[in-house]
Amino acid sequence: MLALLKKKFLPEKIDFLPLIEQGALIIDVRSPQEFAMGHAKGSINIPLGEISNHLREIKAQNKPVITCCRSGARASSANATFQKAGIAAYNAGSWNTVEALLQAKK
């Protein structure tokens, strides 16, 4: 049971940097208010409740998606929605994690 919960809510253990370098979309699924208080450079804000309204346009871009939020829980839910729609999606967890990767890339 613990393994199932970890898989669902913890960020994936993959190297996101190559995906970012290849033009992956970074989608922050927090509220606009949370996003305004800080976000990873280049990320776009689509609140979790609005993800399904944007699936067609995201799929049309034919790019992988990296989801993030405050802790990774909402990003996990968004990730599942993207994957069900046939979009390659990866949960990075916290937006701070993504921002740190972008800073390390410099």
CA distance 102 to 20: 8
Residue 64 counted as domain residue: yes
pLDDT of residue 4: 47
Q: Hey, how many other C-beta atoms are within 10 angstroms of the C-beta on 63?
A: 15
Residue 55 counted as domain residue: yes
pLDDT of residue 92: 93
Mean pLDDT of the chain: 89
- What is the reported pTM? 0.87
How many structural domains does the chain have? 1
Residue 5 counted as domain residue: no
Per-residue pLDDT of 49-84, as tens digits, reads 999 999 999 999 999 999 999 999 999 999 999 999
**Domain range holding 96?**
14-105
The maximal CA–CA distance of the chain, rounded, in angstroms, is 40
Average pLDDT over residues 28-37: 98
To the nearest whole percent, how much of the chain has pLDDT over 70? Answer: 87
Residue 9 counted as domain residue: no
CATH number at residue 61: 3.40.250.10
Residue 41 counted as domain residue: yes
